[in-house]
């Protein structure tokens, strides 16, 4: 039976990971230019942490719990089913979200230009290309009401898409942190790094459509709060199944761990690594990936 202290720690880790979308908003407003290579390495690092933990810690723990209940052979079948079930769940969520608003889709440089260039840069580029009539979506001088509405719609739909994605991420982070707080911190940091560029992708179009920093920050933060919401649902599930016996069923914990591993692997391969490669140069993505795995391996060995 998990203590209230364990639950509070797990909820706190999940909440901090979700609030990282707000950090992305702040960076978008106050940093003149995004460091592409740092973003690439950070995304690769997050993928390395999540992949290593999924295969080295979470998946084996799920297999151990299921094998103890169903036997070795059936336990292996059960963990495989839950693993691919987790991947199927997050994959279905991906397919239900239009590609233009999907935070796991890698967008072109043109689509992302507002995130990484200052207004002065865009004006200079426009003048250099002879595109003096090209609309410039700035808070001070919006190109048109249609352009404002388009940007606002993009920002709001991106916020909704990220909120939908963050829900299973929050559930996964909470369950891992509840079982092992050390692993939970590692996963929380990886999810937080993953959420920072997502916060940027929500806040910038809303800001450029409305000129209101507070509104952009609010919507970005709200999309991140889906993480602790997922944690809350996981906690309610725990209370439901533990209420009578006082002990959480090991087969259910094993299935959840298998599903969590599947969700994290999918996020790493479908979201983090493509983003890392899109913004990096040379082997930046690989360096981040190996670095994340190495740091996670050393921390697990030391702790």
Residues 82 and 246: their CA atoms lie apart, in Å, by 24
Q: How close are the terminal C-alpha atoms of the chain, in Å?
A: 23
Residue 145 pLDDT exceeds 50: yes
In the predicted model, what is the mean pLDDT of residues 23-51?
73
Looking at residue 110, what DSSP letter applies? T
Distance of alpha carbon 221 from alpha carbon 215, whole angstroms: 10
High-pLDDT (> 90) share of the chain, %: 12
Instruction: State the average pLDDT over residues 17-41.
Output: 72
Residue 192 C-beta-side C-alpha neighbours within 13 Å: 16
Domain ranges of the chain: 4-302
Decide if 209 contacts 9 (C-beta within 8 A): no
Q: 212 is written with which tokens?
A: 């209101």
The larger pLDDT score, comparing residue 204 to residue 230, is at: 230
- What is the pTM assigned to this prediction? 0.64
- Residue 158, token pair as written in the block: 């991106």
- Quickly list DSSP for 119-141: HHHHHHHHHHTT-TTS----SSS
pLDDT in tens, 53-91: 889 888 998 999 899 999 999 999 999 999 999 999 888
Of 46, 23, 14, the closest CA to residue 221 belongs to 23
pLDDT digits (tens, 9 = 90+) for 92-126: 877 776 555 555 555 444 444 444 444 444 444 44
The yes-or-no verdict on residue 132 having pLDDT over 60 is no
Q: What is the mean pLDDT of residues 122-131?
A: 44
């Amino acid at each position: 039976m998990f203590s209230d202290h364990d639950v509070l720690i797990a909820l706190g880790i999940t909440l901090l990971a979700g609030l990282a979308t707000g950090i992305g908003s702040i960076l978008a407003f106050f940093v003149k230019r995004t460091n592409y290579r740092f973003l690439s390495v950070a995304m690769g690092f997050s993928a390395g942490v999540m992949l290593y933990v999924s295969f080295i810690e979470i998946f084996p723990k799920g297999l151990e719990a299921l094998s103890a209940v169903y036997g070795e052979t059936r336990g292996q079948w059960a963990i495989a089913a839950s693993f691919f079930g987790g991947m199927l769940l997050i994959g279905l969520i991906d397919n239900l979200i239009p590609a233009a608003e999907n935070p796991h889709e890698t967008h072109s440089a043109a689509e992302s230009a507002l995130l990484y260039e200052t207004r002065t840069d865009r004006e200079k580029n426009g003048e250099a290309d002879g595109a003096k009539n090209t609309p410039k979506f700035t808070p001070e001088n919006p190109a048109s009401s249609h352009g404002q509405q388009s940007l606002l719609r993009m920002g709001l739909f991106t916020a909704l898409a990220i909120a939908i994605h963050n829900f299973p991420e929050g559930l996964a982070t909470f369950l891992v942190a509840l079982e092992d707080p050390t692993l939970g911190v590692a996963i929380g940091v990886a999810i937080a790094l993953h959420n920072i560029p997502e916060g940027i992708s929500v806040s910038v179009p809303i800001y450029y459509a409305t000129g209101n920093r507070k509104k952009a920050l609010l919507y970005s933060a709200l999309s991140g709060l889906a993480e602790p919401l997922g944690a809350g649902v996981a906690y309610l599930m725990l209370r439901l199944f533990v209420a009578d016996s006082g002990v959480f069923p090991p087969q259910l914990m094993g299935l959840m761990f298998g599903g969590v591993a599947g969700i994290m692997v999918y996020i790493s391969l479908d979201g983090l690594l493509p983003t890392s490669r899109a913004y990096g140069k040379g082997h930046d993505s690989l360096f981040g990936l190996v670095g994340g795995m190495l740091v996670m391996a050393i921390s697990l060995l030391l702790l």
